A and B are shown apart, each in its own frame.
Chain A
Amino acid sequence: MKIWAAILLIAGITFLERASFIVFLQRFSMPNWMERALVYVPASAFAAIVAPAVLRTDGAIDISFFNIKIFAALVATVVAYRGHGILWTIVAGMCTLWALQFIFG
């Protein structure tokens, strides 16, 4: 039930976001300050999702050698910075994670 509610609500709001100026506010333009601020949504959002997902283990932040997700994320970051694209970044990160899981059981 909660999953369907999430899917339908997000889908509805996403449509309204896409349709905002194309369908509803055709004769208006976006205030300049808003356009400038929204440019920072992707960097802020992606960073805010990644950090806790990598550092959290069993509900608490774990910055130690025992958190192998950190090493997997570091390898993935290097691959991403070298411009290898999304697919290779994920492949590199997952393979590092699996290798470390295998080694440290």
Chain B
Amino acid sequence: MFPTPQAAFQKGVKDISPILIGGLPFGMLIGVIAASLEFTPWQGIGNSAIMYAGSAQLVMLELIGINAALWVVVLSASIVNLRMVIYSASLARYVRNESLLNRIWMSFVMVDQVYAFVIAHLDQHPEEKHIRNYWAGLSAPLYPMWTIAAAIGYFIGAVIPDSWSLTFGVPLMFLAMLVPALKGRPHYAAAAVAVTVALTGINLPHNLGLVTAILSGVATGALLERLQ
């Protein structure tokens, strides 16, 4: 338990600081790719500030890059962020007594890393009174870092020629996130089915292959888990 609200905030800042440095290149990558896709500066930096969701931003960039239809871009990115609903469900009971305004900003800044720290703390201290201050301490440095990183990346990306193939950083980043996500057999099966469907459906109209592939993978994983 945190002794004071100030202590909770400071602990949040301290816990997130290694991630500020580690996250910088990824925030920059988003800016770099936005620039190479000829986003305007406001679009390239604004998408980090408004969305504040790395994997959804990368999905958006990948699909805009292959010129997918708007509704497919939106649908795919939203499905990738469905995990946020699980986070939201698991934290709701701890923030029940916060004001509406507080719950709104706490939702907005609930990215993977903030969720991970908050739930880890609540696991140990379910009666924590100052969780809002801890939440704020985690977010106060992380949010500006994410936006500034995109700005730096955007201006670097604007001067790097296309021949450097920097957009290949997007699939590489997803590859790096895929490996730790493969936690067991149903996960491997889900990924294998998703790949097969994505490749089979590569010429589906509106690039719907991606959405179909994700849903098939999820269904496979859930089904296998039930059979085990």
A residues in contact (CB < 8 Å) with B = 2-11, 13-15, 17-23, 25-26, 29-30, 33, 35-56, 61, 69, 72-73, 76-77, 80-81, 85-87, 89-90, 93-94, 97-98, 101
**Which residues of chain B are near A23, meaning CB under 8 Å?**
100, 103-104, 107
On whether the beta carbons of A25 and B92 are closer than 8 Å, the reply is: yes
**Which residues of chain B are near A8, meaning CB under 8 Å?**
50
Total A-B Cβ pairs within 8 A: 268
B2: CB under 8 A from chain A?
A: no
Binding site secondary structure of chain B: helix
Task: Pick from A19, A38, A51, A86: contact of B86, CB below 8 A.
Answer: A38
Max chain B Cβ within 10 angstroms of own Cβ: one of A18, A54, A77: A18
On whether the beta carbons of A10 and B178 are closer than 8 Å, the reply is: no
On whether the beta carbons of B181 and A22 are closer than 8 Å, the reply is: no
Q: Shortest distance in angstroms between B183's beta carbon and chain A's nearest beta carbon? A: 8
On whether the beta carbons of B80 and A86 are closer than 8 Å, the reply is: no
Task: Pick from B39, B175, B186, B215: contact of A77, CB below 8 A.
Answer: B175
On whether the beta carbons of A18 and B51 are closer than 8 Å, the reply is: no
On whether the beta carbons of B87 and A18 are closer than 8 Å, the reply is: yes
Bound form: Cα–Cα A69–B22 in Å: 25
Q: Shortest distance in angstroms between A83's beta carbon and chain B's nearest beta carbon? A: 8
**Which residues of chain B are near A14, meaning CB under 8 Å?**
51-53, 56, 77-78, 81, 84
Task: Pick from B43, B195, B198, B218: contact of A7, CB below 8 A.
Answer: B43
